[in-house]
Structure 1
Amino acid sequence: AAIGTGWVFAVNALSYVAVIFGLLAMRERELTPVVPVKREPGQLREALRYVKARPDLLATFALVGFIGTFGYNFAVTLGGFANDVFHAGPGAFGLLNTIFALGSLGGALWAARRGRSRMRTLVVAAFAFGALSAVAALMPVYWTFALALMPIGIVAITFNTAANSTVQLTVDPALRGRVMGLYMLVFMGGTPLGGPLVGWIAEAYGPRVALLFGGLVSAASAVVVALILVRHSGRRLRVRVRPHPTVQVVERHPVPAPDPVAA
């Protein structure tokens, strides 16, 4: 609002300088080389069979698909809240995004400190994201809505990191690239479907209904996935990613035999 949209894009472009510098500063000699897998027919089907045989991956893909399609549409809903619900200007819209980003930063720091991912964390974060989004949709005034975005940002980034770590750190290294390709297809492929749908709901029934719809779908998907996991396993399912191996190699030294006792 103060300097114009063009300058905002310019500042955003300059922010990538730090990312490029970080990539160039990586010490290649300290990286672990991976032998690339030769391209052969049927590799995609192999990845699909692998995901199908892993209930934890199926659950992750389902949650990511529903939340990515119906929940992550803040570019549509926040603009509608700022303009149509609270009748505020571009500055208020920018502040909403800033508060959401602060929550995401807090969630990223917490995820880095947590250090491991569990299926329980993924499901709880998905449900919390949906529930908090539904609560935010009912906030009566601008400031209560803005404050409600911070915990949404926290659980959103918690869900993202839990889903990413579950896929990247528990998948067979020979299939990791293909499985991650499927993961990104599910995560981002639903946006062309969910975005127009949520936008139509916002235009026809208002931004509150659109955000409430996305939140309820996200929370419901978490509940359904949790029930399926419990029914499939018969108990609570956990996926633990350990930073250190659980098997320890212990060096053994032979113990000399005692001298025979003289008769």
Structure 2
Amino acid sequence: MLISRAFTILMIYRVAITVSYQIFTVAVGWHIFELTQDVMALGLIGLAEVIPYFCCALFAGHAVDVLPKKKIALFGCAVYALMGAVMLWVATGDFQQNWLKPAWLMYFSIGLAGIARAVVRPIYQVLFAQALERSQYSRGTAVGTSVFQMAQIGGPAFGGVLIAWSGLVSAYLSVVVFALIGVMALLAFRYQEEVSKPSADSIWVSIVEGLKFVFGRQVMLAAMALDMFAVLFGGAVSMLPAYVSEILSGHPEALGLLRAAPAVGSTLVGLWLARRPLDQYAGRWLLAAVAGFGLSAIGFGVSTTFVMAALSLLFMGVFDGISVIIRSTIMQLLTPDNMRGRVSAINGIFIGSSNEIGALESGIAASWLGLSTSIVFGGVVTLLVVMASWFLAPKLRYLNMRDLQSDAAR
């Protein structure tokens, strides 16, 4: 049974911090574009988040492996609350006679989001492994992904409605509230704490050990690299504020709904895969899913109506959901308990940071090629990445999940 007290509380925690982050991203994206009317300003959101993420991720992974897990998770929630509080100050403050510029504080708050994500990503993977038995990982990953995507549906939609009806102040206040809900869920989470004994090796030796582990396993490395390049070039969500404003002439509600559309697709496929895991031909399913993601991005790039854009984003979510579940299951099955923090941090650098770098790439491409052309270009590059992976990673192409359970895929 997946429904245990620990697993349920862990899902509440994940929903809370995900909704907090999603409302923040919708609100700050709309806020910045409203002030600047510049797609490059949207691209800089990704850069402002990924720099602190890169700087902190590997150290956060090491800390997760050797320090009390709950305290680290609580720190992540506190940073989420702080970034919401900073933006609340920006939305309510008068900066006309102040040396502080609103844009500086906005990008500082976005940087805090990068720090928080560097902590939250690996700590969730560790707590997930504590809440479930190994035999439940595949189905648990599907359930967890569905819950995560439901939060990604509710968060952006709720954020867009708050901005339209109550303004940015209410949206930023809700960021803080949901972060505090995450704190309460963590305080209720009970599990057997297993803190590793301090090693005589330095932090750098520990980090290098994690890197060697990942780079020494072709299936794990290929799955990470495939998703990294696909998200880097195929991600179109970061341009949604500009797309809604320039192409659809829409409002914050449209932004929230379109932002939620990929999560709807991921949720639906996650619920399906919770009952029917893709254990056989998992590698081919992964490659096909990323190809479908690229084709959907192309469809979004040529969209001129809300319905067409929403359907394209919905299918992007479906294919991304398949990819995430397969990749996450690979990570959980291959990683020993004492290295989950470091491996998850490395995976976060591959996958999580590519979202932010992709946002910067999308901003630059949109300013050079135009908004629609840049999105189509990213989808085409994603298809080329899939073709390259098909030939360069044969172990991934022929992967079955049972191979991982027997440690045959190395």
Shorter-chain TM-score category?
0.7 to 0.9
Is it true that 1:100 corresponds to 2:266 in the alignment? no
| Corresponding position of 1:38 | 199
- 1:184, 1:238 → 2: CA distance? 22
Letter in 1 for 2:199: K
Quote the Cα distance in structure 2 between the aligned partners of 1:32 and 1:120: 38
Query: 5+ unaligned residues in a row in structure 2: which ranges?
Result: 1-163
Which residue of structure 1 lines up, in the alignment, with residue 249 of structure 2? Answer: 87
The 1-side partners of 2:198 and 2:329 are apart by 22
Secondary structure, counterpart of 1:87 in structure 2: coil
2:319 to 155, 161, 165: 155
Instruction: Give secondary structure in 2 for the equivalent of 1:190.
Output: helix
Which residues of 2 match residues 240-255 of structure 1 at below 5 A?
Answer: 240=401
Which digits, 9 at most, give the CA deviation of each residue in 1:75-112, with x for residues without a partner?
22x12221112222222222212333322322332343
Q: Is 1:116–1:241's contact at 8 Å kept on the other side of the alignment? A: no
Alignment match of 1:9 (pick from 172, 193, 197): 172
Alignment-mate amino acid for residue 217 of structure 1: V
Aligned pair 1:65/2:260, yes or no? no
1:50 equivalent in alignment to 2:217: no
CA contact (8 A) 2:296 2:316 kept: yes
What is the one-letter code of the residue matched to 2:321? I
* Cα distance in 2, alignment partners of residues 101 and 194 from structure 1: 18
Q: 1:187 to 1:173 in 2, by over 3 A?
A: same
> Structure 1 residues 172, 19: CA separation in 2 closer, same or farther (over 3 Å shift)?
same
Query: Does residue 212 in structure 1 map to residue 376 in structure 2?
Result: yes
Change (3 A) 1:23 1:228: same
CA RMSD for the aligned pairs? 3.0
**Higher helix residue share:** 2
Aligned mates of 2:377, 2:200 — CA distance in 1: 42
Deviation at 1:59, TM superposition (A): 0.7
Larger Rg: 1
- Distance in 1 (CA, whole Å) between partners of 2:199 and 2:251 is 54
- Number of paired residues? 240
Alignment deviations for residues 170-228 of structure 1 (CA, whole Å, 9 cap, x no partner): 12334333222211112233345332221122223222122212222222212211222
What is the alpha-carbon distance in structure 1 between the residues aligned to residue 370 and residue 266 of structure 2?
A: 26
Contact 1:51 1:58 in 2 (8 A): yes
CA shift, 1:244, in A, is: 8.8
Q: Say if 2:353 is the partner of 1:194.
A: no
In structure 2, the residue corresponding to 1:88 is in which secondary structure?
Answer: coil
1:93-136 alpha-carbon deviations (Å, 9 max, x no partner): 22212333322322332343344663233222211111111122
- TM-fit CA distance, 1:157: 2.6
> Aligned partners of 1:156, 1:120: CA distance in 2, in Å?
14
Partner-residue secondary structure (3-state), 2:393: helix
Q: Which runs of 4+ in 1 moved over 6 A?
A: 242-245
What amino acid maps onto 2:231 in structure 1?
G
The whole-number CA distance in structure 2 between the counterparts of 1:241 and 1:80 is: 45
Q: Distance in 2 between matches of 1:157 and 1:200?
A: 27
Q: Secondary structure of the residue that 1:153 maps to in structure 2?
A: helix
Q: Is the 8 A contact 1:80 1:202 kept in 2?
A: no
Match for residue 295 of structure 2?
A: 131
User: In the superposition, relative to structure 1, how do residues 88 and 94 fare at CA in structure 2: closer, same or farther (>3 Å)?
Assistant: same
Q: What is the CA distance between 1:12 and its match in structure 2?
A: 4.0
- Alpha-carbon offset, residue 147 of structure 1: 2.1
Q: Structure 1: how far apart are the matches of 2:363 and 2:187? A: 40
In 2: Cα distance, 1:225 partner to 1:143 partner: 33
CA contact (8 A) 1:170 1:241 kept: no
Q: Verify the 8 A CA contact 1:63 1:225 in the aligned structure 2.
A: yes
State the TM-score, normalized to the length of structure 1. Answer: 0.77
Give the conservation status (yes or no) of the 8 Å contact 2:333–2:404. no
